[in-house]
Amino acid sequence: MLNKDLPLPLYYQIEEYLKRKIEEREFGVGELIPSERELSERFQVSRMTVRQAVTNLVNAGVLYREKGKGTFVAERKIEQPLKGLTSFTEDMRQRGMSSSSKLIAFEAMVAPGEIREKLKLKDEEEIYCVRRIRMADRKPMAIETTFMPVKLLPGLTEKIAKGSIYHYVEQELGMAISHARQMIEARAADEEQAHLLDILPQSPVLHIERSSLLSKGIPFEVVRSTYRADRYSFISDIER
Ligand code: GLP
């Protein structure tokens, strides 16, 4: 039951109720939740209030709507720790999920200005531009565009790019990946990103840029990625 004397809005209390039911597995992943009408009768509130609660949980990626069918429980988000310089392949393996990539571009080209500077290249030096849709258990999680100097990875092939680039760099080329700087910011998916990630245009996504270095401070990749915000959250432990 909702408590109308609490200083918490009623929609918030309904959100908490739905989240608890999901936590307790009473509403399982992929299951239809009760309709707006049922919830408004159960809690004796207006449908507007119920809609507000459900919309908030849809925006948070806890629920998803299907046109003409109803509202369902979404899969739990992947919680990605913000420590350790890991690869997508390693992250998925650690979770017991299968990883795969759809290669949508693989080209060698002269580096455009900003990328050239970040990779500390000379004017005419070439880079690989690799664009991949990263999939976990066959579902699209992220789009990643990776720029790498050709001179550091001369033998890179499409086949390698469909697997793990980090594995190739470390195990096949014997180079040590040492550290990276990463930036994460909120964006809205454009039409193309939405299509590739199987989400609606303007859905929230996380834009991540990573610049990684080999030992001795040699830059070897600049990566621009778009992660589904409904599937990912980033976690860090902080100490005082
Ligand atoms: C993650 C990082 C990327 C990195 C990639 C390498 O997705 N966000 O910056 O390039 O891992 O992954 P893999 O070794 O699977 O190709």
Task: Give the ipTM of the model, two decimals please.
Answer: 0.99
When pLDDT is averaged across residues 228-235 and rounded to a whole number, the result is 92
Per-residue pLDDT tens for 62-115? 999 998 999 999 998 999 999 899 999 999 999 999 999 999 999 999 999 999
How far away, in angstroms, is 29 Cα from ligand 1 center?
A: 28
Judgement on whether residues 43 and 104 belong to the same structural domain of the protein: no
Q: Which of 88, 158, 226 to mutate to test the pocket of ligand 1 (most atoms within 8 A of CB)?
A: 88
Catalogue the E-assigned strands of the chain: 63-66, 70-73, 78-81, 99-110, 126-136, 139-149, 177-188, 204-214, 218-228, 232-235
Residue nearest to atom 4 of ligand 1 (CA): 87
Residue nearest to atom 10 of ligand 1 (CA): 223
- pLDDT band at 150; cut points 50, 70, 90: very high
Ligand 1 neighbours, Cβ below 6 Å, are 87-89, 144, 146, 164-167, 210, 221, 223, 225
Q: What is the identity of the amino acid at 211?
A: S
**pTM of the predicted model, to two decimals?**
0.86
Domain-located, residue 201: yes
Domain-located, residue 4: no
Catalogue the E-assigned strands of 4-62: none
Per-residue pLDDT tens for 171-195? 999 999 999 999 999 999 999 999 9
Domain-located, residue 191: yes
Residue nearest to atom 2 of ligand 1 (CA): 87
How far away, in angstroms, is 166 Cα from ligand 1 center?
A: 7
Q: Which of 182, 206, 210, 224 to mutate to test the pocket of ligand 1 (most atoms within 8 A of CB)?
A: 210
- pLDDT band at 210; cut points 50, 70, 90: very high
pLDDT confidence of residue 187 = 98
Judgement on whether residues 113 and 36 belong to the same structural domain of the protein: no
CATH number, residue 197:
3.40.1410.10
Q: What is the DSSP string of 179-226?
A: EEEEEEEEEE--HHHHHHHTS-TT-EEEEEEEEEEEGGGEEEEEEEEE
What total number of domains does the chain contain? 2
Judgement on whether residues 46 and 100 belong to the same structural domain of the protein: no
Q: Could you tell me which of 102, 104, 101, 110 has the C-alpha nearest to residue 128?
A: 110
Domain-located, residue 5: no
CATH number, residue 54:
1.10.10.10
Q: What is the identity of the amino acid at 87?
A: S
Judgement on whether residues 64 and 110 belong to the same structural domain of the protein: no
Judgement on whether residues 142 and 49 belong to the same structural domain of the protein: no
- Please list, in sequence order, all residues whose beta carbon lies within 8 angstroms of the beta carbon of residue 15, skipping any fewer than 6 positions away: 53, 56, 57
Judgement on whether residues 99 and 214 belong to the same structural domain of the protein: yes
Judgement on whether residues 16 and 116 belong to the same structural domain of the protein: no
When pLDDT is averaged across residues 41-49 and rounded to a whole number, the result is 95
Range of the domain at 160: 78-235
Judgement on whether residues 105 and 33 belong to the same structural domain of the protein: no
How far away, in angstroms, is 168 Cα from ligand 1 center?
A: 11
Judgement on whether residues 206 and 107 belong to the same structural domain of the protein: yes
Arithmetic mean of pLDDT over the chain: 95
Largest CA distance in the chain: 70
